[in-house]
Amino acid sequence: MIDSIQLFWLSVSLIIGVFLVIEPNAAKAIELLAKLIGVEIQRRWLMIKLHPKNPITNWLWERKMEKLAIELKQKIKEANEQTFRNE
């Protein structure tokens, strides 16, 4: 037989289906609602990801900047060595 949760979702689906048949703008409203939910999820994700007090992103940026600093130091050292060799 049908469980109570299955009956609930079947009822919700039937109500939405009837609403879509009766109201011509219901499909547009559901589409806009889905887009609104997607935008809200993306906004929240970016707020979490780019928040200045987020320790994970801060650690990742520090690590990236340390690697960049080491790379730049090596390039500067190589450029200085080439300059002194040419003189």
Q: How many other CB atoms sit within 10 Å of the CB of residue 13?
A: 10
* Phi-psi map region of 51: left, alpha, beta (phi>0 left; psi -120 to 50 alpha): beta
Q: Quick: pLDDT tens for 1-21.
A: 679 999 999 999 999 889 888
pTM to 2 decimal places: 0.51
Mean pLDDT of the chain: 90
